[in-house]
Chains A and B, each alone.
Chain A
Amino acid sequence: AQSVTQLDSHVSVSEGTPVLLRCNYSSSYSPSLFWYVQHPNKGLQLLLKYTSAATLVKGINGFEAEFKKSETSFHLTKPSAHMSDAAEYFCVVSKNTGNQFYFGTGTSLTVIP
């Protein structure tokens, strides 16, 4: 069985400060992990993915995430928030065969000017 827990439903940061969105996963298999972003009235877009290669994964727009097996975590970070980062973020786990994708409940990021 697989599941994802996003620990914060809402995160608010000031522009130019670091962003941390937390995700813990549970998986009976060697997982693939993803972060997707959903801007208002736009489709879901892949930010980054982990598929059993390097544990520190770099994505688009300055985001990165670190896979920590011992902590079953895959937190998303960015050194400096930009206004355009305001959106809904989803952590996703799947089997490493591309089956059974499970989305978290999402974290809404607000960036304060």
Chain B
Amino acid sequence: EAGVAQSPRYKIIEKRQSVAFWCNPISGHATLYWYQQILGQGPKLLIQFQNNGVVDDSQLPKDRFSAERLKGVDSTLKIQPAKLEDSAVYLCASTIARGGTYSYEQYFGPGTRLTVT
């Protein structure tokens, strides 16, 4: 079974530029998550999709961050314009919910390391 795919793996941009990250979850996984992990901290959930609908985006800085999952499969996270404090690893994860038993084991991709200079 192929894992969660993310690209690019590394990205360096200047502040005020735009950047986009792509995620392809495990086939059949309906739920997709984007996390931000700043160096030395635990991952912070930015947005959660169930199929192509947003379940939770309460911690997404909506003035500069946006995400979409148009066909309920792969997803794109965008930052525009980027700030220095956006330097972090952006992680994508997916889960499959089993009816009646909430497993919610998240499978994580390798992440995209963003450096904003």
Interface on chain A toward B: helix, strand, loop, or mixed SS?
Answer: loop
Contact with A along B102-114 (1 / 0, CB 8 A): 1111101111000
Q: Is the CB of B105 within 8 A of A98?
A: no
Q: Residue B72 at the A interface, CB < 8 A? A: no
Number of A-B contacts (CB under 8 A): 57
Contact A44/B91 with A90-B42, A99-B55, A99-B56 known, Cβ cut-off 8 Å:
yes
Contact A46/B42 with A98-B97, A99-B48 known, Cβ cut-off 8 Å:
no
Q: Is the CB of A106 within 8 A of B104?
A: no
Q: How far is the CB of A29 from chain B (nearest CB, A)?
A: 12
Q: How far is the CB of B94 from chain A (nearest CB, A)?
A: 12
Residue numbers of B with Cβ under 8 A of A are: 3-4, 31, 33, 35, 40-45, 48, 55-56, 91, 93, 95, 97, 101-106, 108-111
